[in-house]
Amino acid sequence: MDFNLTEDRRMLADSLGRFLSEQYPVEHRNKVAYELPCHDAAKWEAMAELGVMGALVPEAAGGFGGTGFDISVVFEAAGRVLCPEPLLGATMAARVLVAAGADCEDLVAGAAKYAAAFGEIEAPYDLAGVSCVAIAKGDGYTLSGRKAAVYGGQAADRFVVAAKLDGKLAAFEVEASAAQVVGYPMMDGGGAAEVLLDDAPAKLLLADAADALEDAVNAGIVALCAEAVGAMEVTLNTTVDYLKTRKQFGVPIGKFQVLQHRAVDMLTELEQARSITIKAASDLGTDQASRSASMAKNLIGRAARQVAEEAIQMHGGIAMTWEYPISHFGKRLIMLDAQLGDQDYHLSRVMAGYAA
């Protein structure tokens, strides 16, 4: 496996990294991340002009990427600044739209913000448990049901919705104006929404969408794992810098061997997380995609928590303050585990031989 980025991806990583570091200092990020709409509309437009959404869509559908590695490049850069923009919804929705042969122009241009409304209260992760129902009415369809914790839903213009049609999983597109959307900020920054559908008019994308929806979830997991890698890297580097400058008993605390060993343990967790994310990105779209995604999500759920906890402990009290970035990185790293299935859920999938 080639671990080096292609020239195009390296250029995207460099340009996006510079843009985010300039436009999303932690002060600005925290200003917009914790209050509705939990993102900066002007920054979203600038990211679209930069071509970020095009990296999520294959060339045949109007983009220039769409692979697991393209997704990883975008989200690793986003993770380094804890970018709260609703990129996850765009990533997952794009997979379904492409599978359906639907028009992706608005998504690629950033003209419409998409969110993936898959999970429900009784089935937060398991697509087989979807209870939202689609009914054919005239020349179209209506949807009824409730979607829970729809990431980016608070700012979405359109939803890609998983629903049952004649007993099978199908995918629909619903305008946000046709649903009751209750948005809220998440404790780690960024937003989500409860989406209530009551005979909401919908456009059918795929009548038999089980595989496309599963692929979208796998793409979302790759995105979250890459985001975690970016956030873990910044957390580690910030902690090492702190160990070099914070003095106790007249010497930098980084001189203490026990803290050096703990920092090395953090680096080990980071590199394991990076490697398994590369594996999951490589397998996206193949028959091993679900298994690799679950393995990555399980490992990173554990690794991210360890890195977050070690960083906070080695910083001491300052790491618990709002003003210091590590507190926000720590929250995001912990909460990443809960999105699209926590480590226990994905461990159970691997143990059951899911997608083996």
Separation between Cα atoms, residue 232 and residue 333, nearest integer Å: 8
CATH topology of 115-208 equal to that of 212-351?
A: no
pTM value is: 0.95
Query: What's the pLDDT at 250?
Result: 83
Radius of gyration of the chain (CA): 20
pLDDT at residue number 248: 83
Q: What is the reported pLDDT for 11? A: 87
What single-letter DSSP state applies at residue 323? T
Pairing between β-strand 251-252 and β-strand 247-248 as defined by DSSP bridges:
antiparallel
In CATH terms, 212-351 corresponds, of 1.20.1090.10, 1.20.140.10, 3.20.20.70, 3.40.190.10, to 1.20.140.10
Confirm or reject CATH 3.30.70.270 for domain 7-112, answering yes or no. Answer: no
pLDDT digit string, tens, across residues 311-346: 999 999 999 999 999 999 999 999 999 999 999 999
CATH architecture of residue range(s) 115-208 = Beta Barrel (2.40)
Helix (H, G, I), strand (E, B) or coil at 184: strand
Tally of residues, the chain: 356
Cα–Cα distance for residue pair 178/153, rounded to 1 Å = 13
pLDDT of residue 354: 55
What are the C-alpha distances in Å from 320 to residues 198, 212, 309, 324? 43, 41, 11, 8
Strands 191-206 and 180-185: antiparallel
Q: How far apart are CA 182 and CA 290, in angstroms?
A: 31
Q: Are 274 and 303 in contact (CB under 8 A)?
A: no
- The pLDDT assigned to 356 comes to 44
Domain ranges in the chain?
7-112, 115-208, 212-351
| Phi/psi at 247 (5° precision) | -110, 145
Which of the residues in the chain have pLDDT under 50?
355-356
**Tell me: the pLDDT tens digits for 1-54?**
555 667 778 888 899 999 999 999 999 999 999 999 999 999 999 999 999 999
Instruction: Match 């437009």 to its residue by tokens.
Output: 45
On whether the CB atoms of residues 27 and 40 are closer than 8 A, the answer is: no
Q: For residues 191 and 222, is the Cβ–Cβ distance under 8 A? A: no
H-state helical runs in the chain: 7-23, 26-33, 41-50, 68-81, 87-100, 105-109, 210-245, 257-283, 289-315, 325-336, 343-351
Predicted pLDDT at 101: 96
